[in-house]
Amino acid sequence: MDAVFGVLQILTVVVVLVALYRPVGDHMANVFTTTRDLRVERGFYRLVGVDPASEQTWQAYLRGVLAFSFVGVLFVYAIQRLQAFLPYSLGFPAVPEGLSFNTAASFVTNTNWQSYSPDVTLGYTVQLGGLAVQNFVSAAVGIVVAVALIRGLARAKTGTLGNFWVDLTRTLVRLLLPLAVVAAVVLVAGGVVQNFAGFTDVTTLTGGTATIPGGPVASQEAVKMLGTNGGGFFNANSAHPFENPTPWTSLLQILLMLVIPFSLPRTFGRMVGSTKQGVAIAAVMATIFAVSLSALTWAELRGAGTAPQLAGGAMEGKEARFGIWGSTLFGSTSTLTSTGAVNSMHDSYTALGGMMPMINMMLGEIAPGGVGSGLYGMLVLAVITVFIAGLLVGRTPEYLGKKIGPREIKLASLYILVTPTLVLAGTALSFAIPAVRADVEGTSIWNPGLHGFSEVLYAFTSASNNNGSAFAGLTANTPWFNTALGVAMLLGRFVPIVLVLALAGSFAAQAAVPATAGTLPTHRPQFVGLLTGVSVIITALTYFPVLALGPLAEGLQ
């Protein structure tokens, strides 16, 4: 029965995503190509002094992204440090400096890593004015960077990529806000909490007392999923019944995570003038997603060990409400979309099962990835794939009418090196520096040995790829991890954005090259298979040696 219900869940997700692929993708394409501005948008442009008809070079576009994000970091840091003086603080004190920096970096980079228990650390003003706002705007930044890269591929001899402030405003007003309002209402109807009740003391059935937290949960839950953010209102995240009460709300949250990332390839196809190109990119994403989900579900159902086999699978750390199938579907979705939300504890998965969410992030979260970041990551891999194919046949590589020369391939190569460098360097430094290692092993790791190493590796993988999920056995609220993971989140977000926008600018400045008999078709199954192989080989295999030291060794033990 569990298997039947699990398969029905997966089929429901597939059917809904296929049905929404065209309308949502077309709507996003219209948002970024129309010349009409809404009245509220025009008012905002006048307020900030932006000419909506003006275009920006990639350098100016980048300055807008960095300046906006820098102000966001300062604001989220300041609002946490001033929490004790703010209304609806619930009596909580100011958040410590190191943790405030880590949290500010986390939410501005769309990571939403949380080294604290949210419901007993942050008041409602910080939750709503700081974190929920960043759930919207950090997601919007990812989307507009992807749109800038699409424009670079679609335009010729312009050198401009649109206007960051216009793209950001339209993304918020026309896409994220309307969808979040609808999703929040549906979640409230499903039983997700939405109030300002604070803490309520109740008498239990046994005569004891318990404190039940409340809060504006549904409004934050909706955008955390839509924007592939992932930060929970409660420490248990989407395993908490106030955030995720029933199997159907869990399925809805899965759909919210996937709908924009899986529809963006349609937007890409519309904007470059060939919907077949979008279908090819979506097919690669879907293929990787299906393989990853199958491997994770198999590992958890197999449940090596006497207790899991007697239980019919590895149920430790999983909610009985969702079961193994609902847990692995959610876990695969969150780690393949840069969301980081969990409805089960990844730290309690089997060794090989826990490796799969890690690999999902190591892939660069491209299947379908975070809102925007998944698409531009996949397009960078498409550039590398075309370059490799060109080397094999001895031709100058071209993608969508743009030549891939030394500058383009250098930018693409640097892009795929950023996160592995951060992950491997961060993990290595955690054990190579004597004082740091003593703190990590004595304070942070509660599960010594191979699994403890995997917990540290997972943390840096999650932070550097801007995911936010964790192996919960690691205590990360320490000076080392707050600082190191915060830096990894910032570099893992903004260094790739710099490279993507530089690549977009390079493409936009080129003239279009007409297709010839020797041009590699990038919309056929042959290219889908080639891009899938390149995505796995170039990204995941980079981490094979370090995986062999952690989850692989533990799983084979």
| Residue 433: predicted pLDDT | 96
- pLDDT per position as a tens digit, 314-368: 888 888 889 999 999 999 999 999 998 999 999 989 989 999 999 999 999 999 9
What's the confidence (pLDDT) of residue 98? 96
The predicted model scores a pTM of 0.95
Which CA distances in Å does 61 have to 69, 371, 417?
13, 18, 23
Query: Who contacts 545 (Cβ-Cβ below 8 Å, separation ≥6)?
Result: none
Contact status, residue 520 vs residue 530, Cβ threshold 8 Å: no
Polymer length of the chain: 557
- What pLDDT shows up at residue 313? 72
Where would I find the beta strands (DSSP E) of 382-531? 398-399, 402-403
d(CA 499, CA 246): 42
For the cut 70, the answer to whether the pLDDT of residue 65 exceeds it is: yes
User: Quick one: pLDDT at residue 231?
Assistant: 85
Question: What's the pLDDT at 429?
Answer: 97
Task: Measure the CA angle with vertex 379, ends 376 and 385; round to 5°.
Answer: 150
Quote the strand ranges of 164-208, DSSP E: 199-203
What is the biggest distance separating any 2 CA atoms in the chain, rounded to whole angstroms?
Answer: 80
Any idea of the CA torsion for 142, 146, 148, 152, to the nearest 10 degrees? 160
State the Cα–Cα distance between residues 240 and 379, nearest whole angstrom.
36
Taking only the tens place, the pLDDT of each residue in 486-543 is 999 999 999 999 999 999 999 999 998 888 777 889 999 999 999 999 999 887 788 9
Neighbour-count burial for 159-169, b at 16+ CB within 10 Å, e otherwise: ebbbbbbbbbb
Average of per-residue pLDDT values in the chain: 93
| Residue 306, pLDDT above cutoff 60 | no
Mean pLDDT of 209-224: 91
Cα separation, 550 vs 445, in Å, equals: 14
Rounded distance between C-alpha atoms, residue 342 and residue 334, angstroms: 7
Q: What percent of the chain has pLDDT over 70?
A: 98
Q: What percent of the chain has pLDDT over 90?
A: 82
Q: How confident is the model at residue 261 (pLDDT cuts 50, 70, 90)?
A: very high
Give residue 119's pLDDT: 87
Contact yes or no for 131/220 (Cβ under 8 A): yes
User: Which pLDDT score, from 0 to 100, does residue 312 have?
Assistant: 64
Give me the mean pLDDT over the 82-100 stretch. Answer: 95
> What pLDDT is stored for residue 304 in this prediction?
62
Confidence of residue 208 (pLDDT cuts 50, 70, 90): confident
Q: Is the pLDDT of residue 372 over 80?
A: yes
Greater confidence (495 vs 553) lies with: 495
- Residue 277 has a pLDDT of 97
- Give pLDDT, residue 211: 83
Output 215 or 314, whichever has higher pLDDT: 215
Is the confidence at residue 371, as pLDDT, over 70?
A: yes
Range with the poorest average pLDDT among 142-146, 204-208, 254-258, 471-475: 204-208
DSSP string, 45-104: HHHHT--TT---BHHHHHHHHHHHHHHHHHHHHHHHHTGGGSTT-TT--PPPHHHHHHHH
Task: Note the pLDDT tens digit of each residue in 133-150.
Answer: 999 999 999 999 999 999
Task: Please report which residue ranges of 337-372 form alpha helices under DSSP H.
Answer: 351-362
Rg (CA), the chain: 23
- The domain spans of the chain are 376-556
Q: 174-196 pLDDT, tens per residue? A: 999 999 999 999 999 999 999 99
CA distances for 452 relative to 12, 59, 165, 436, angstroms? 37, 42, 44, 15
- pLDDT of 307 higher than 60: no
Report pLDDT digits (tens) over 401-433: 999 999 999 999 999 999 999 999 999 999 999
| Separation of alpha carbons 542 and 536, rounded Å | 9
Q: What was the pLDDT predicted at 202?
A: 85
Average pLDDT over residues 111-127: 93
Distance CA 158, CA 511 (A): 9
Confidence of residue 311 (pLDDT cuts 50, 70, 90): low
**Buried/exposed code over 470-508 (b: 16+ C-beta within 10 A; e: otherwise):** bbbbbebbbebbbebbbbbbbbbbbbbbbbbbbbbbbbb
Contact criterion met (CB below 8 Å) for 548 and 352: no
Pairing, β 209-213 against β 398-399: unpaired
> Which 3 state secondary structure label does DSSP give 213?
strand
What's the confidence (pLDDT) of residue 305?
58
Mean pLDDT in residue range 49-72: 96
Strand pairing partners for 213? 199
Q: How far is CA 535 from CA 9, 289, 364, 465, in A?
A: 27, 12, 9, 15
